[in-house]
Structure 1
């Protein structure tokens, strides 16, 4: 069984091995990953690397088969440079203690008893939702008032429309009358709100 020429380069996160096996058939190539070893197999050709200098994650390690070489990418468990492919170094996974079950504390107990804030928020928002003009004719401000007068104007006859326009324009927006018989007799006086003074704008 013959070995294969290979070389590698690495970053802190990954080590990439190039195995020079020209014309390898992807269907015949297999790479077995273990935390501290890898085995490359192609028919009678084999490359075994163990123990690896560091520990890898077999699930995240991968390879691709090219025409000239096979590229194997090892995903390191611990960030850092190995400096060599194989060598006796401690298995970092063996030194990691199993996580102890967390002791319940006041904070975790409190978290379990946490209120359903989404439900409470929705309830408050429903209560604070503004009333519509159908529910309360006093809500809506100017927008509702404008809609109200627009409806009156669109539903009115020509005399009423003339009265509304004339009274509104001549009074500077302080009076709105629908009585054409009264409005047509004379200019409509300006009637500012109580406590305010009407001033003509000068260009």
Structure 2
């Protein structure tokens, strides 16, 4: 059967990865079957049948992932080495082995990576600002500095205000004895250049 879906592949000695460009795939309508020398992908009227594969695959460890614009299929080779193509009648070193004599056809379920990510992130305990002042991005960091400023004495508040304003926001000091002596210099981060806006 001729393929009517655009596809491409790359390989390592252990695996062949095939990208089938089939946009907006509904998992309920897709049938993917792995056989030792055959791959079958059917989505409604669209299909891709590859047989005979250049080499033998392991149907039990081969898998696929459904994306928004393509379906990625990973075929695990039974015998390491390069195929150079997907289909052909090249000699299969496993053709006479016990593995080849037991016909196996497997339909795999796709992994729900979105659900796995959500589960992992949901299981992590969120830290409070007392445990980590960087939690929550800039707004929490600002809250951290507001707490320091709110709990400080008058000299510390003066030092913070003067150092922040004179340095263009590049320095924040709480030492009034040091800051009151001279203008606080601008100290941009390493690899950056300070430019004054007009």
- The bucket for the TM-score relative to the shorter chain is 0.3 to 0.5
Tell which has more relative contact order, 1 or 2 (C-alpha 8 A, sep 6+).
2
| Greater Rg by CA | 1
State TM-score, norm by structure 1: 0.46
Q: TM-score, normalised by structure 2?
A: 0.47
